[in-house]
Amino acid sequence: MAVADRSQGLAWQRRYVIALTVSDVVVVGAAMACAQMVRLGRPVTQFDPLTIYFGLLSVIFGLMWLGMLAAYGTRSPRIVGAGTEEYRRVLSATMSTIGVVAVTVMIFRPEYARGYLAVAFPLGLVLLMISRSLARRVLSWYRKGGRCVNSVLAVGSPAAVQSLVQSLGRARDYGYSVVGVCLTGHPAGGTIDIPGVGSLPVLGNEHSVETALAASGADTVALTTTDHLGPAGVRELSWDLDRLGVDLVVSPGMVDVAGPRLTMRPVAGLPLIHMERPQYSGTKKLQKRVFDVVVSLGVLMCAAPLMILSAIAIKLTSRGPIFYCSERIGIDGTPFKMIKFRTMVVDADKQVGRLSALNDFSGGVLFKIREDPRVTPVGRILRRYSIDELPQFFNVLTKDMSVVGPRPPLRCEVDAYTEQVRRRLLVLPGITGLWQVSGRADLSWDDSVRLDLSYVENWSISSDVLIAFKTVRTVLGGAGAY
């Protein structure tokens, strides 16, 4: 593929950035207009001195906001479409705008500005997050059809390339599609089989990247190992790719380690990646506890009528107690009683042996049946929308669980854990987590463990908030619930 053709293939990035820009302008303008109407109690189209005055303020502050969104790179093709970085930058840009506006208001003291801005910024931030989420859903839909993706040429040893391709295959929302590989010390020709992905053509070795790019039309080179090239070889490769208009990304080989734990430190011209230790105590622990209590009390108060109706339905339609208490293993291996609405017949636990042949869970030590005959009709509805899990917020208040965390395991599951998997027990188990928003019961055992360990290694309040919001969408969709 020629350079011009490759640039044409990336035209979707320019169109997407333009669409985000237009969306941001509309959202910020709408937020300012709504705040103005709330403050004045009149439409923005009514021309009088006060309306014109607020209109000018809206234009000035709106341009500041849009400028911050641009300055923080919220529309960079490197971060849009997936992950938390885009949302974090939108939030940071908004908070910076509030700071600048606050200083401006203190200096110039524009009349009546404070109350109206208290409406504009929170409303605008919510609308910005919603618009970005909708844009992602559209982009994800295109990517599922093979459009709006970056075609990648993976370069490195067979083991490193296999790991990279599998990781990118699991994260399709990020839009990387590997179209070919260059294997260290291997000539061009043949294919490499990647479990779970398929076969990919071997287009050469580490010294024939340019030829492989011409054959594959890739717009991105992913370098998985650099020892075979050396510092001079990597530098020369980056110059060659810059001339061709091809992006270069380097995978350091660290799996499921999030950005906040990584710090780039240039030392004597050598870029060193410093990986911070996971933090499970101190200020972060206090922040998480406050988040848990606030969210749990809010959910229990709002869901009280639904929980009462659910309890009545369970009692009227099947024999047995309203609640089901199951022993689970919590932080540091401490057992506790997890509370749920009962969704199965009373002797469901005794039927596990008889139904073991029907286990649909793909590998591991879990037991799940898609069409479980033990589930009651009411229980099926409660499970589909996760209503049965609402009593677990009482477990959160008693410090046995957290709102967000790894899936609470059974004792028999923990007994089968390897030393690596036992790291799931370093934090409180959660009502929801990465496993909940990434497929729920449809996940394989390996994927469930990987997501839980990733959460344990990288947990933060911002990720908890994002997972909580995603959970609402997942629950309403009912996917993976049975």
The CA dihedral of 471, 473, 476, 479, to the nearest 10 degrees, is -80
Q: What would the pLDDT profile of 222-234 be if each residue is shown by its tens digit?
A: 888 766 777 778 8
β-pair type (262-267, 335-341): unpaired
Q: CATH for 150-253?
A: 3.40.50.20
Cα–Cα distance between 455 and 440 in angstroms, integer? 15
Tokens of 84: 């938390």
Backbone angles phi, psi at 470, to 5 degrees: -65, -30
Cα–Cα distance between 441 and 435 in angstroms, integer? 8
Cα–Cα distance between 459 and 291 in angstroms, integer? 13
Q: What would the pLDDT profile of 377-411 be if each residue is shown by its tens digit?
A: 999 899 888 899 999 999 999 999 999 998 888 88
- Report residue 110's pLDDT band, with 50, 70 and 90 as the boundaries: low
- Report residue 431's pLDDT band, with 50, 70 and 90 as the boundaries: very high
Q: At 125, is the secondary structure helix, strand, or coil?
A: helix
Q: Residue 442 has what pLDDT?
A: 60
Q: What would the pLDDT profile of 122-138 be if each residue is shown by its tens digit?
A: 999 999 999 998 999 89
User: Is the confidence at residue 10, as pLDDT, over 90?
Assistant: no
Q: Alpha carbon of 313 to those of 65, 300, 304, 457: distances in Å?
A: 50, 18, 14, 41
Q: Specify the range with the lowest mean pLDDT, choosing from 185-194, 269-278, 360-369, 407-416.
A: 360-369
Q: CATH for 3-144?
A: 1.20.1440
Q: What angle do CA 346, 351, 352 make, to 5 degrees?
A: 120
Tokens of 212: 């492989």
Q: At 334, is the secondary structure helix, strand, or coil?
A: coil
Cα–Cα distance between 318 and 92 in angstroms, integer? 51
Cα–Cα distance between 343 and 324 in angstroms, integer? 8
Mean pLDDT of the chain: 82
Single-letter code of the amino acid located at 182: C
Q: What would the pLDDT profile of 58-75 be if each residue is shown by its tens digit?
A: 888 899 999 999 999 999
Q: What would the pLDDT profile of 152-203 be if each residue is shown by its tens digit?
A: 999 988 888 888 888 888 777 788 889 999 998 888 888 888 887 888 999 9
Q: At 188, is the secondary structure helix, strand, or coil?
A: coil
Q: Residue 335 has what pLDDT?
A: 94
Q: What angle do CA 336, 341, 344 make, to 5 degrees?
A: 105
Single-letter code of the amino acid located at 245: G
DSSP letter, residue 348 = G
User: Is the confidence at residue 293, as pLDDT, over 90?
Assistant: yes
Cα–Cα distance between 264 and 272 in angstroms, integer? 6
Residue with the two structure tokens 């053709």: 5
First to last CA, the chain: 47
Spatial CA neighbour of 320 closest among 302, 301, 341: 341
Backbone angles phi, psi at 141, to 5 degrees: -65, -40
Q: What would the pLDDT profile of 459-474 be if each residue is shown by its tens digit?
A: 778 788 888 888 887 7
The CA dihedral of 123, 127, 128, 129, to the nearest 10 degrees, is 110
Q: What are the extents of the domains in the chain?
A: 3-144, 150-253, 283-477
